[in-house]
Structure 1
């Protein structure tokens, strides 16, 4: 069984993945994998250079983040064009990685939910998310709201997910994770061998 974990910016999904790792469950990080593949895959390099131009990479072969970002932000079509190159590579990498769990910020938006059997969303109140993003990235409240506003509404993701973990700083994450793993036999059975 494969399980996907998602959640909007500032929800704390990466922290939940850290708690899962402490329980012996390693989680594949789609964002980190995308960055790694864009740096190391010759196929991706060729396709990105074909799309953006040779300036997508520096003379010494490093990803030119400024050029990529500029291209991405120019239009939705550009962002989709990059996604159409990177997402299939990440999906293939996940499926061949040996991991059963994945962390993906855009699990439903990207269609990566189709790669897993069950989905979990990590949620938090908007004001808590704003404060976390402001503190983490040293940005203004307006910028944090803008970033959150660009993503799917949390309520939409909750409707699609199989399970919800609330990371509001009040409810115990450990208790919620333990309940999830122990109560839902189909997930527990898969994870139990890892403990």
Structure 2
């Protein structure tokens, strides 16, 4: 029998999901970072490596590590390839999350992941939290941390659902616009979850 509440934390690129999750962690709640786990899996899981190599060819890996720039270029130009890559990686990440959540011993566990609504994975969580921020602010944040051009960022944004599409599916919406203090919003969510 499940003894914990599973909360998905999601939001568009640059919305500040990881920042919100670090605050939740500092408050003493365990957070599973799906993107980090996906990197581990694509670099070390034999089944994932085999399937990704079949899908993208030998160029997919350089020195036994995923050739991320090559893969990113392929999937952002071909939604079908992106879908196939997600079908390889996401189930493995999800299995790892639920295994981790079970062994955490915590009553509330959080999973930070970018496209929970887009993939339909949000249905596997007890509650969903959406992090939102103004578009230009998100673009500026991503530019600062990634070195991507505005065009590349907009391209990535266009592959994700808009906040307007996601808000009706979210149980909690946290506004990370640098005007609305985050802590009271996070506290309110946690109190309601308890």
TM-score under structure 2 normalisation? 0.86
Higher deviation after alignment, 22-31 or 140-149: 140-149
Q: Indicate the RMSD between aligned Cα atoms, in angstroms.
A: 1.9
Higher deviation after alignment, 147-156 or 39-48: 147-156
Q: Deviations over 1:22-52 (max 9, x none)?
A: 1011211111111110101011111112222
Larger Rg computed on CA atoms? 1
CA distance in 1, matches of 2:148, 2:81: 26
Is 1:96 the counterpart of 2:99? The answer is: yes
Q: Which runs of 5+ in 2 are unaligned?
A: none
Cα pair 1:121 1:157 within 8 Å, conserved: yes
CA distance in 1, matches of 2:132, 2:32: 20
Pairing partner for 1:25 from 19, 29, 47: 29
How many residues align? The count is 184
**Partner residue in 2 for 1:13:** 17
Q: Which runs of 5+ in 1 are unaligned?
A: 189-195
CA distance in 1, matches of 2:56, 2:151: 31
Is 1:73 the counterpart of 2:76? The answer is: yes
**Partner residue in 1 for 2:119:** 110
TM-score under structure 1 normalisation? 0.85
The verdict on how the C-alpha distance between 1:96 and 1:144 changes in structure 2, with shifts beyond 3 A counting, is: same
CA distance in 2, matches of 1:30, 1:40: 15
